[in-house]
Chain A
Amino acid sequence: GAVVSQHPSWVICKSGTSVKIECRSLDFQATTMFWYRQFPKQSLMLMATSNEGSKATYEQGVEKDKFLINHASLTLSTLTVTSAHPEDSSFYICSAWGAQGDNEQFFGPGTRLTVL
């Protein structure tokens, strides 16, 4: 099946720094990638949808200047958490969709971000 990777798998940073998370589709071209955020024992909440070569569409309540998303190629999307604060600590999950089959989304393993 299709594989999506995320890097890093976990990161600890100081408050005020920026952190970049990569999401890669390893064996297919992802025309659309989604970024989700998951708090402990909570659901995955959609943050934004990004289509290759165009600006991301953010969900209501998600600050686009805080969470910068770039989808510059069909195999890579990045999420940058700018000026991170402790409340940004969470589990970030990406998924990728390409026109390769049954409209299925393939998920990355997630990135655990801890902001001190």
Chain B
Amino acid sequence: GDSVTQMEGPVTLSEEAFLTINCTYTATGYPSLFWYVQYPGEGLQLLLKATKADDKGSNKGFEATYRKETTSFHLEKGSVQVSDSAVYFCALRNSNSGYALNFGKGTSLLVTP
């Protein structure tokens, strides 16, 4: 079945450092890929998405490119801020599973001043 694998956390970075959170997936067909962010005490929020190969999703300085050849959707940001501290979830949605999402385990990010 479909699955999503994320790098283990927690990740601790200093403010303005470069961020990469790796995400790879296994799926049949052509899934859509997502990154969600969960700030402390809040629900998951959609950060960005890509629906087909080579699409780049971007939002709030974060980017991820849908790489079908490497089945990856790595999240990057050039300069993180303290306010980016949160848990990040990579997810996929396959048309044969309706609108349900298949999540990775999540990666906790802590950005220190």
Tell me the A residues contacting B by CB distance below 8 Å.
4, 6, 32, 34, 36, 41-46, 49, 93, 95, 97, 103-110
Within B29-46, the residues touching A (CB, 8 Å) are: 36, 41-46
The contact of A104 among B41, B46, B104, by CB within 8 Å, is B46
Contact B45 A107 (CB under 8 A): yes
Contact A41 B105 (CB under 8 A): yes
**Could you give, for residues 80-106 of chain B, a 1 whenever the CB lies within 8 Å of some chain A CB and a 0 otherwise?**
000000000100000000111111111
Contact B101 A105 (CB under 8 A): yes
Contact A103 B99 (CB under 8 A): yes
Whole-angstrom CA separation of A4 from B102 in the bound complex: 20
Residues of chain B within 8 A of A110, CB atoms compared: 43
Contact B105 A42 (CB under 8 A): yes
Whole-angstrom CA separation of A104 from B100 in the bound complex: 10
21 A-B pairs whose Cβ atoms sit less than 8 Å apart in the complex: A32-B98, A34-B100, A41-B106, A43-B4, A43-B104, A43-B105, A43-B106, A44-B103, A45-B103, A46-B102, A49-B98, A49-B100, A97-B99, A103-B99, A105-B46, A105-B101, A106-B43, A107-B36, A107-B44, A108-B43, A109-B43
Q: A46-B101, A49-B98 are in contact. Are A93 and B46 (CB under 8 A)?
A: no
When A and B form their complex, what is the total count of cross-chain residue pairs whose Cβ atoms lie within 8 Å? 47
Residues of chain B within 8 A of A95, CB atoms compared: 44, 101
The contact of B43 among A46, A93, A104, by CB within 8 Å, is A93
Whole-angstrom CA separation of A104 from B36 in the bound complex: 11
Residues of chain A within 8 A of B36, CB atoms compared: 107
Beyond the given A34-B100, A46-B102, please list 10 additional residue pairs across the A-B interface where CB-CB is below 8 A: A4-B43, A6-B43, A41-B106, A43-B4, A43-B89, A46-B101, A95-B44, A105-B101, A107-B44, A108-B43
Closest to A48 in B: B100
Contact A109 B98 (CB under 8 A): no
Contact B43 A107 (CB under 8 A): yes
